[in-house]
Amino acid sequence: MEVLKELMTKRIAKDWVNAYFEHGVDVSNRRIFLDDEISDCSISNVIKGIYLMEGTATKQPVSLYMSSFGGDMYEMFALYDILRTVECEIHTFAYGKCMSATPLLLACGEIGHRWCSPNCWFMIHDSWGFAAGSTQRVVAEVDHWKDMNNKWAELLGKETKKAKKFWIDKCTLPKDYFFNSDKAIAWGVADHIWDQKEGE
């Protein structure tokens, strides 16, 4: 409770700021950095950071900066659900790499506040699992991953205003599908190119 009072009055002890910043959370500037694979650990830190800032008096936007090769789809869905339910606006930024599970997280930011750097590279692909065991078990797991892929395409279609089939078709290629920031803008994954400093 004392920590929350301190945050609400903006008297944040330096050791607290340093501790949170080490986990990718910059409390004083309301920024979170996801620059690792999407896993239970990295997403847990992001969610804790969001709720930490959500619990303060100010409802200013939280900026989520991402540079990730992607990772666990379950954790992607978990963070997606959180980002769509918190009261404060989530502004998303992609730089370097925005791949696999990460484009959906960029796309679900506040409309008009989804940014990507000019030289960020995007990649999407079909979902995959580690089916093993009896035939029935393999079939069940394959069906599950198809369901996951369909849900991913459905949500990405919702956030980008592109048809679900558009994203499914991109992922049925026999390899990863790469695209650049310009296409990310054109396809509704992001709204703006996060470019040079003002005046340059």
- Tens digits of residue pLDDT in 96-105: 999 999 999 9
Nearest residue to 188 via CA among 111, 127, 126, 117: 111
Domains of the chain: 2-126+176-193 (3.90.226.10)
* Digit-coded pLDDT (tens) for 124-150: 998 765 555 566 676 777 788 889 999
pTM of the complete model: 0.83
DSSP string, 58-97: ----EEEEEEE--B-HHHHHHHHHHHTT-SS-EEEEEEEE
Residue 28 has pLDDT above 90, yes or no: no
The three-state secondary structure class of 105 is: helix
Contacts 24+ apart (CB under 8 A), 145-149: 148/73
Distance CA 1, CA 105 (A): 31
